[in-house]
A and B are shown apart, each in its own frame.
Chain A
Amino acid sequence: MTSIDIRDLRVDYGDFTAVHDLTLQVPAGEVFGIVGPNGAGKTSTFRVLASLSRPTYGEVRLAGIDAIEDKENARRLIGYMPDLAPVPRDLKCGEFLRFYARAHGLGNAKECAKRADECLEQVALTDHKNHWCHKLSRGQTQRLVLAKTMLHRPKVLILDEPASGLDPLARRDLRQTLRNLTAEGATIFISSHILTELAEMCTSLCVMSRGRLLASGTVEEVRRQLGDDSRRLTVTPLQALSAVPEWLSNLPGVAAAFIEQEQLAIDFLGDDDAQASVLEEFLRRGLRIRSFQEKRSSYEEILIDVAEKSRAQV
């Protein structure tokens, strides 16, 4: 079942097009990541999804409900956590959550208080129940707003940079919380600049740049779609080679090979099968190998590459 269905979404600010005819479907129960450099259109997409902005045109359906025309019903399904997660200055953490519990109609005062306590516990803020919201640290504020977002058990969670400001322990807890939420049937739409982290959290993701969708799917699919399937194989023979073996260039997938610091470096474009054949060939020819390493572009490098390309286009 499709939980988030975006069709031909376009968002303009005057002559600047923030989101350009975006079409995207996210099945229910997925953690879907959205990645892109600044100005990619992530926040604009999020705000339309959360029914906070009106798009120039396009359709957004959340669990079948039109989020643009039927905002009131769509908002019952949404849990939105904005970037920088603001909190009010005049409420304490417990009061803050109880207010939203009541506003979402989660029952009487007692039931609302109970649910607020549960959420505080989930984000490990029970001790801060009676602390002023604005006196929390950045990471604690993020967790508090995450608790507020989960309060009404939304079917669709829209989290804009939820991990920013969190320490490693809190990040690990966030990952666990997201897993629990998806286990309960929620769909999570999440953005982050830290692609490695997003790759760990998400079941699928998409990459946006300058308002356009560049790639979407699983992490591997995205890598392939972005044309970043190259890898470097580094072979360290037991005895140093004086030159690159001639037979090497005839193997499928080998783009180039050279000697670098007594190691044989191979720029490889083939698939995993072809890579296995290279290793096989080395062994068949009786070449004694100390190590055989594969190095691929990191997620960070992919994102930097996308950002640089997009900057060059401007």
Chain B
Amino acid sequence: MSQTTPTKIPPVCHFWEIWRNPIFLRYCRARLRPTGLGASCLITILVSGFLFQMIRTFSDNRTELDVMDIERAPLVTLLIIQAFILFVLGTAQASGGMTAERDEGVIDYQRLLPMSSVSKVIGYLFGLPIRETVMFLCTLPFTLWCFIRGQVPLGVMLSIYGVMASTTLLYHLTGLLTGTIVKNRRWAFLMTIGLIFSLYTIIPQAAKFGLVFFKYLTITPTIQDAMPDLVPKTFGAAIDVSRRLFSEARFFNLDFPEAVFTWFTQACLIITFFVMLCRRWRDADAHLSGKLWASGFFLWIQILLLGNSIPLIDSGKLFPTQQFARFSVFTRGQQWEPDRWEAMAMILAYGFLTLILLWVMSSLITPSYETVVNGWRRAHKLQKNRLPLLADESNSTPYVLVMSLIGGAGWFYFTHMIVESRWFPGHFSPISNSGWFLLAIVTCGLLHHLILELKGTRTLFMCIIFIVVVPLMLSAILFGTSDRLQPLALWVGGISPLGLPFLTAANHLSITELPLLIDRTVPSVWTFWQGVYIIVIMRLTYSLYQKRSRLKATLLSQSSAPTST
């Protein structure tokens, strides 16, 4: 057979040449048609122009505001409109558009284009929400007017738009990723909107419970930081005081401006999402993340979580009640001290978050039965008796174990720093306790991974419903029914692996404040359920080992099928 030597053919466009990217240009053509774009721009200009002029007119009538204040007045409203266009409409378009490509079946055509996966992702990233970008540009003259005439410092303007750009990128990548995974167009749209809504409403509450990292996934800290320069001076003065009280972007011993730290935090997620999308473009059946990348990403998130929260413990700024106490008329003038319950709540919040993240990462790297079988067949054909170490089909248990240990160590370190801080004298969390914390996270991590690999996603889903969620619900009902039923509630709640972090913390930390009846029950409940789960894990590990060995033996012993020609 004569063979053509593959020659290096120049790419259709380099990944940075967005203006030449065919996928970007295709969406410019489709989404910037005069009729659709005209209507969208008209509505945007009408709304922004109306609010801009109305707020200025109202401000003009207030005698205490000078000219500069009047010009600044519409700024926050206009920024909200811009954020809505880019974050909500743009992200929904990114996810919905991606799902539509797959739904219509044309995604295969795009896969076949002789372009690199990076160029394809960039084409979609900037192309799909192109109309929303133009709508955003329509609002820009109004905000620029406010920035310039309102004499807002250039640095503030640049940091706001810089963070808006990185946040937009992050959300649009999230949208693309959702669109790549979710098969139904409506679900992809709803999930994306839900994700962004929760980022600005629910997740900031998590930030109040020690998970400071989450607020840097939004534009909020940068806006808060810049607020004194964005509003009229009268309000700005008051905000400036609160900014000095709140605004701190600390990462271990380093101090960062809010905008810089937001970029730093978001960059890690942007790169990870980008890598995931590129993997999927290269191979439609590949795992979203490689094993090493997933482990590194998990470690990085733990470092960010700890780096943001640990420096705030000593000053007390990590505790939610301190912020409340500052403004409450009831506590003003009193010496503030954190409550033990809030320390416990923060410890549990960290534990739960670590677990959920661990489960997500474990789901990303655990190979399905089909992947493993195909891997062994491939190995057999290549006359190898082991799977490639980092391939999707290889054993992911060691990586889940490593991530569990990282998570457990992170959780224990957080707990240790809170309990042994100056706020809780007489309470200790000795290093000797760390084993129990590690055990709790390893138990939960492995349980999820083993069930997923042994039984598949459907069984795992049923287990999450009936073993994780339902016992917690029952426990909550029993807990509220009567005091006498509280020990029973604890026993029932212990069935759920999500109860393990609580039981571990309650059993090993003196800081825990529990009613006497529960306090007495905790040790036996923890011992029993932790023991049960260890036995279950040993059993599942053995079954998985047997299953893998059987599979390997069966597939490697098969003689290759006769070749048909």
Query: Measuring CB to CB, which residues of chain A are less than 8 angstroms from any residue of chain B?
Result: 1-2, 5, 8, 10, 12-15, 20-25, 50-54, 56-58, 61, 63-66, 70-73, 75-76, 78, 80, 82, 84, 86-91, 95, 99-100, 102-105, 148, 212-213, 216
Q: Are B6 and A73 in contact (CB under 8 A)?
A: yes
Task: Give A53 to B105 CA distance when docked, in angstroms.
Answer: 15
Task: Give A23 to B112 CA distance when docked, in angstroms.
Answer: 24
Cβ of A89: which chain B residues have Cβ within 8 Å of it? 100, 104
Given contacts A12-B377, A95-B29, 11 further A-B contacts (CB under 8 A): A52-B284, A53-B284, A64-B2, A88-B104, A91-B30, A99-B22, A103-B22, A105-B10, A105-B12, A148-B109, A213-B565
Task: Given A21-B563, A21-B564, A102-B22, check contact A57 B31 (CB 8 Å).
Answer: no
Q: Are B114 and A72 in contact (CB under 8 A)?
A: yes
Q: Does B378 contact A (CB under 8 A)?
A: yes
Q: Are B25 and A99 in contact (CB under 8 A)?
A: yes
Q: Are A8 and B26 in contact (CB under 8 A)?
A: no
Partner of B561, one of A15, A21, A78: A21
Task: Give A180 to B318 CA distance when docked, in angstroms.
Answer: 74
Q: How far is the CB of A46 from chain B (nearest CB, A)?
A: 11
Cβ of A14: which chain B residues have Cβ within 8 Å of it? 369-370, 373
Cβ of A15: which chain B residues have Cβ within 8 Å of it? 373
Task: Given A8-B381, A50-B112, check contact A13 B370 (CB 8 Å).
Answer: yes
User: Which residues in window 83-135 of B have CB below 8 A to A?
Assistant: 100-101, 104-106, 108-109, 111-116
Task: Give A310 to B560 CA distance when docked, in angstroms.
Answer: 22
Q: Which residue of B lies closest to A63 (CB)?
A: B4
Q: Does B342 contact A (CB under 8 A)?
A: no
Task: Give A238 to B561 CA distance when docked, in angstroms.
Answer: 57
Q: Are B108 and A103 in contact (CB under 8 A)?
A: no
Task: Given A24-B565, A90-B31, check contact A52 B381 (CB 8 Å).
Answer: no
Q: Is the interface of A mostly helix, strand, loop or mixed?
A: mixed
Cβ of A64: which chain B residues have Cβ within 8 Å of it? 1-6
Q: Does B374 contact A (CB under 8 A)?
A: yes
Q: Are A23 and B565 in contact (CB under 8 A)?
A: yes
Cβ of A78: which chain B residues have Cβ within 8 Å of it? 112
User: Which residues in window 1-43 of B have CB below 8 A to A?
Assistant: 1-6, 9-10, 12, 22-23, 25-26, 29-31
Q: Are B377 and A57 in contact (CB under 8 A)?
A: yes
Q: How far is the CB of B336 from chain A (nearest CB, A)?
A: 58
26 pairs from A and B in contact (CB 8 Å cutoff): A1-B2, A5-B1, A8-B560, A10-B561, A12-B374, A21-B562, A23-B563, A23-B565, A24-B565, A53-B285, A56-B377, A58-B381, A64-B3, A65-B4, A70-B6, A73-B6, A73-B9, A75-B113, A86-B105, A86-B106, A91-B26, A91-B29, A99-B22, A99-B29, A103-B114, A216-B565
Q: Are B370 and A212 in contact (CB under 8 A)?
A: no
Q: Does B283 contact A (CB under 8 A)?
A: yes
Q: Does B382 contact A (CB under 8 A)?
A: yes
Q: Are A52 and B108 in contact (CB under 8 A)?
A: yes
Partner of B105, one of A12, A13, A57, A82: A82
Q: Which residue of A lies closest to B105 (CB)?
A: A86
Q: Which of A22, A52, A213 has the most CB of B within 10 A?
A: A52
Task: Give A59 to B469 CA distance when docked, in angstroms.
Answer: 48
Cβ of A10: which chain B residues have Cβ within 8 Å of it? 377, 381, 561
Task: Give A24 to B101 CA distance when docked, in angstroms.
Answer: 33
Task: Give A24 to B564 CA distance when docked, in angstroms.
Answer: 8
Q: Which residue of B lies closest to A1 (CB)?
A: B2
Cβ of A53: which chain B residues have Cβ within 8 Å of it? 284-285
Task: Give A70 to B564 CA distance when docked, in angstroms.
Answer: 26
Q: Which residue of B lies closest to A215 (CB)?
A: B564
Q: Are B285 and A56 in contact (CB under 8 A)?
A: no
Q: Which residue of A lies closest to B369 (CB)?
A: A14
Q: Which residue of A lies closest to B561 (CB)?
A: A21
Q: Which residue of A lies closest to B370 (CB)?
A: A14
Partner of A76, one of B106, B108, B114, B382: B114
Q: Are A75 and B114 in contact (CB under 8 A)?
A: yes
Cβ of A75: which chain B residues have Cβ within 8 Å of it? 112-114
Q: How far is the CB of B101 from chain A (nearest CB, A)?
A: 8
Closest 6 CB pairs of A and B: A86-B105, A64-B3, A64-B4, A103-B22, A90-B30, A57-B381
Cβ of B10: which chain A residues have Cβ within 8 Å of it? 105
Cβ of A58: which chain B residues have Cβ within 8 Å of it? 381
Q: Which residue of A lies closest to B560 (CB)?
A: A21
Q: Are B370 and A12 in contact (CB under 8 A)?
A: yes
Q: Are B12 and A103 in contact (CB under 8 A)?
A: yes
Q: Are B29 and A103 in contact (CB under 8 A)?
A: no
Q: How far is the CB of B487 from chain A (nearest CB, A)?
A: 47
Q: Are A88 and B370 in contact (CB under 8 A)?
A: no
Partner of A105, one of B1, B114, B560, B565: B114
Q: Mark B295-338, 1 if CB is under 8 A from A, else 0.
A: 00000000000000000000000000000000000000000000
Q: Which residue of B lies closest to A102 (CB)?
A: B22
Q: How far is the CB of A302 from chain B (nearest CB, A)?
A: 18
Cβ of B4: which chain A residues have Cβ within 8 Å of it? 63-65
Task: Give A104 to B12 CA distance when docked, in angstroms.
Answer: 7
Q: Are A61 and B105 in contact (CB under 8 A)?
A: no
Task: Give A54 to B381 CA distance when docked, in angstroms.
Answer: 15
Q: How far is the CB of B495 from chain A (nearest CB, A)?
A: 32
Q: Are A103 and B115 in contact (CB under 8 A)?
A: yes
Q: Which of B4, B9, B25 has the most CB of A within 10 A?
A: B4
Q: Which residue of B lies closest to A145 (CB)?
A: B109
Cβ of B101: which chain A residues have Cβ within 8 Å of it? 88
Task: Given A76-B114, A104-B113, A216-B565, check contact A84 B105 (CB 8 Å).
Answer: yes
Q: Which residue of A lies closest to B23 (CB)?
A: A103
Q: Are B26 and A99 in contact (CB under 8 A)?
A: yes
Cβ of A52: which chain B residues have Cβ within 8 Å of it? 108, 111-112, 284
Q: Which residue of B lies closest to A76 (CB)?
A: B114
Cβ of A105: which chain B residues have Cβ within 8 Å of it? 10, 12, 114
Task: Give A95 to B30 CA distance when docked, in angstroms.
Answer: 9
Q: Are B6 and A51 in contact (CB under 8 A)?
A: no
Q: How far is the CB of B203 from chain A (nearest CB, A)?
A: 34
Cβ of A61: which chain B residues have Cβ within 8 Å of it? 1, 3
Q: How far is the CB of B204 from chain A (nearest CB, A)?
A: 37
Q: Which residue of B lies closest to A11 (CB)?
A: B374
Q: Are B564 and A22 in contact (CB under 8 A)?
A: yes
Task: Give A73 to B5 CA distance when docked, in angstroms.
Answer: 11
Q: How far is the CB of A145 from chain B (nearest CB, A)?
A: 9
Task: Give A50 to B112 CA distance when docked, in angstroms.
Answer: 8
Task: Give A63 to B562 CA distance when docked, in angstroms.
Answer: 26
Q: Which residue of B lies closest to A27 (CB)?
A: B1
Q: Are A72 and B377 in contact (CB under 8 A)?
A: no
Q: How far is the CB of B141 from chain A (nearest CB, A)?
A: 29
Cβ of B12: which chain A residues have Cβ within 8 Å of it? 102-105
Task: Give A51 to B110 CA distance when docked, in angstroms.
Answer: 12
Cβ of B111: which chain A residues have Cβ within 8 Å of it? 51-52
Q: Which residue of B lies closest to A95 (CB)?
A: B29
